[in-house]
Amino acid sequence: MIEENTKFIKNKARELGFSSIGISKARHLHEEENKFEKWLSQGYQGSMKYLEKNLDKRLDPRKLVPGSKSIISLSFNYYPKQNIDKKNNFIISKYAYGKDYHKVIRKKLKKLFECIKEKIGDVDGRVFVDSAPVHERAWAKLSGLGWIGKNSLLINERKGSYFFLAEIICDLELEYDSPTPNRCGKCTRCIDACPTDAITSAQVINANKCISYLTIENKKEIPIEFKDNLNDAIFGCDICQDVCPWNKFSKPHNEEKFIPKNEITSLKKNDWIELTEETFNRIFEGSAIKRTKYEGIIRNIKAAN
């Protein structure tokens, strides 16, 4: 029954468009505890104070979802067929080209969980898409979806790193997968390419220097010392992924909702500079870019220009 249930879940996940799926046993992440606490003690989380809360649940999903036995980790590709023109233009991260991934993937994840309950019966659990205190990259690594690269992102040897992560934490006993070896080797391209030196060492990111953090999570003014290094980025940053050799294996996604609107792809530098709040709200309705709000985008434009 365990083997049959595992096979059903994996097949159904692929039917729903997920790129990869792996499963690990729910337990306390002892191997991550010291690393995470040290990272927090160095203040590398910046203003993301939510990362300091619920450490017990972040490190042990059984405290987040009582009775849980398995973490089903999934990836969903967002690599675009075509990049938005970067010539003399401001840059937004590829993950934000289309509709907000939280809503798109959550809908698919809920559908998968419904199918599991219909097939198997009384299953208790919760779905997560970059939400709640879930140590998603650690679970994805343990589930065999890839390894943690020096840029701290999960890398898959056949798919690169342009994918979202999601989880179902449930009380089902399933077959568990094994981690894959770290294949970064001596490569330091991501570290060398980071314009703000945010990657302090392998797998350690100082968010206070990270362009993604500075243009999204950060609510204050962008420090003047970073303004010359933003490289026209106004929402997120893909530099450490763009230079990663493993992303030569990235293939374009097939998710219609991740395709950017023509109104977004046609925006040029001057259009961004003259962007009104009304136009911003209309063009980016349902987009992850709304997360920064209009004031945040204008702040980023001024800093990058």
Across the chain, mean pLDDT equals 97
Q: How many Cβ atoms from other residues are within 10 Å of residue 53's Cβ?
A: 10
Q: Which residues contact 86 (CB under 8 A, 6 or more apart)?
A: 232
Residue 205 · residue 224 · CB < 8 Å:
no
Residue 199 · residue 240 · CB < 8 Å:
yes
Residue 235 · residue 300 · CB < 8 Å:
yes
Q: How many CA atoms lie within 13 A of 206 on its CB side?
A: 13
φ, ψ at 164 (rounded to 5°): -90, 160
Choosing from 130, 232, 242, 271, which is the catalytic residue?
130
Amino acid (one-letter) located at 44 = Y
pLDDT digits (tens, 9 = 90+) for 222-236: 999 999 999 999 999
pLDDT digits (tens, 9 = 90+) for 77-125: 999 999 998 888 999 999 999 999 999 999 999 999 999 999 999 999 9
pLDDT digits (tens, 9 = 90+) for 232-264: 999 999 999 999 999 999 999 999 999 999 999
**Three-class secondary structure of residue 254 per DSSP:** coil
Write down the domain spans for the chain.
2-86+93-170, 189-249+261-304
Instruction: State which H helix or E strand residue 25 sits in.
Output: strand 20-25
pLDDT tier, 293 (very low <50, low <70, confident <90, very high otherwise): very high
Residue 161 · residue 137 · CB < 8 Å:
no
The vertex-182 CA angle with 191 and 109, nearest 5°, equals 95
Is the per-residue pLDDT at 24 higher than 90?
yes
What local confidence, expressed as pLDDT, does residue 85 receive? 84
What local confidence, expressed as pLDDT, does residue 282 receive? 97
Calculate mean pLDDT across residues 46-56: 95
Calculate mean pLDDT across residues 175-197: 98
| HEC assignment per residue over 30-95 | HHHHHHHHHHHHCCCCCCCHHHHCCHHHHHCHHHHCCCCCEEEEEEEECCCCCCCCCCCCCEECHH
Residue 131 · residue 109 · CB < 8 Å:
no
| Rounded-to-integer distance, Cα 40 and Cα 37, Å | 5
Q: How many Cβ atoms from other residues are within 10 Å of residue 201's Cβ?
A: 9
Is the per-residue pLDDT at 300 higher than 90?
yes
pLDDT digits (tens, 9 = 90+) for 115-165: 999 999 999 999 999 989 999 999 999 999 999 999 999 999 999 999 999
What local confidence, expressed as pLDDT, does residue 86 receive? 85
What local confidence, expressed as pLDDT, does residue 138 receive? 98
Amino acid (one-letter) located at 241 = Q
What local confidence, expressed as pLDDT, does residue 87 receive? 86
Q: Annotated catalytic, 192?
A: no
Q: Which residues contact 127 (CB under 8 A, 6 or more apart)?
A: 106, 109, 110, 112, 113, 166, 167, 168
**Above pLDDT 90, what percent of the chain?**
98
| Rounded-to-integer distance, Cα 55 and Cα 259, Å | 36
Amino acid (one-letter) located at 198 = A
